[in-house]
């Protein structure tokens, strides 16, 4: 009788453990982001990938400019495929590219057929310090974009120069001389 009782208890314990150890179905509710949340996520992801690229370049002994030149070269075929490229069209394309950032601002300070001068800010650089990842600074981020735009400008026959003053990046796009 005792053996039967012990056997029953052992079987009951093993059965209970087996049942409790089974995977129980769960309902996973996926997030439904608002347009605003999607925009913030996209901005954050873009900045994260730029920071990651700069950090990777630095880990290989390269500079943010090296990564900027590489990304610019990757983008050259697209830019070369655009019709009627001019300094003003080039600046319009930069503006279109950067408008994915909610806080982006660009102002044209001077425009001629052969040269456009302007300034811009708010293209994710404020997130670099906030994220504080990979040893990348806001200066690294700004230098990366300077070299990226310079490289793309060269591949379509223009010169690009920029200088950061306060929150603004002042730039000039001109025909090559």
Q: Residues 149-171: pLDDT tens digits?
A: 999 999 999 999 999 999 999 99
Number of H helices, E strands in the chain: 6, 4
How far is 87 from 68, CA to CA, in rounded Å? 20
pLDDT tens digits for range 9-40: 656 566 656 656 677 889 999 999 999 999 99
Q: Across residues 70-80, what is the average pLDDT? A: 97
- The DSSP bridge partners found for residue 108 are 118
Structure tokens at 151: 């490289």
Report the alpha-carbon angle 169-173-177, nearest 5. 140
Q: Is the pTM of this model over 0.85?
A: no
How far is 24 from 34, CA to CA, in rounded Å? 31
Per DSSP, which regions of the chain are E strands? 105-112, 115-121, 158-165, 168-175
How far is 109 from 90, CA to CA, in rounded Å? 15
Q: Are 118 and 177 in contact, with CB atoms under 8 Å apart?
A: no
R_g of the chain, CA atoms, integer Å: 27
The dihedral sign for the CA sequence 41, 46, 50, 53 = positive
With CA atoms as reference, report the closest residue to 99 among 121, 84, 83.
Answer: 121
- Give the residue carrying structure tokens 């630095």: 58
State yes or no: pLDDT of 140 exceeds 70.
yes
Strand 158-165 and strand 115-121: the pairing is: unpaired
Domains of the chain from N-terminus onward = 37-175 (3.30.1380)
pLDDT tens digits for range 51-69: 999 999 999 999 999 999 9
pLDDT tens digits for range 92-136: 999 999 998 989 999 999 999 999 999 999 999 889 988 889 999
């Amino acid at each position: 009788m005792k053996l039967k009782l012990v056997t029953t208890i052992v079987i009951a314990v093993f059965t209970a453990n087996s049942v409790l150890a089974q995977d129980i179905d769960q309902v996973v509710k996926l997030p439904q982001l608002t347009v605003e949340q999607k925009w913030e996520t996209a901005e954050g992801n873009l900045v994260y990938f730029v920071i990651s690229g700069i950090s990777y370049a630095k880990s290989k002994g390269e500079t943010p400019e090296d990564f900027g030149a590489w990304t610019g070269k990757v983008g050259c075929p697209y830019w070369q495929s655009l019709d009627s490229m001019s300094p003003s069209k080039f600046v319009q394309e930069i503006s279109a590219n950067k408008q994915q950032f909610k806080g982006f601002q660009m102002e044209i300070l001077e425009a001629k057929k052969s040269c456009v001068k302007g300034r811009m800010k708010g293209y994710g650089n404020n997130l670099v310090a906030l994220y504080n990842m990979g040893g990348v600074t806001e200066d690294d981020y700004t230098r990366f974009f300077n070299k990226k735009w310079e490289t793309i400008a060269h591949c379509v026959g223009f010169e690009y120069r920029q200088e950061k003053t306060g929150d603004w990046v002042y730039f000039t796009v001109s025909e090559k001389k």
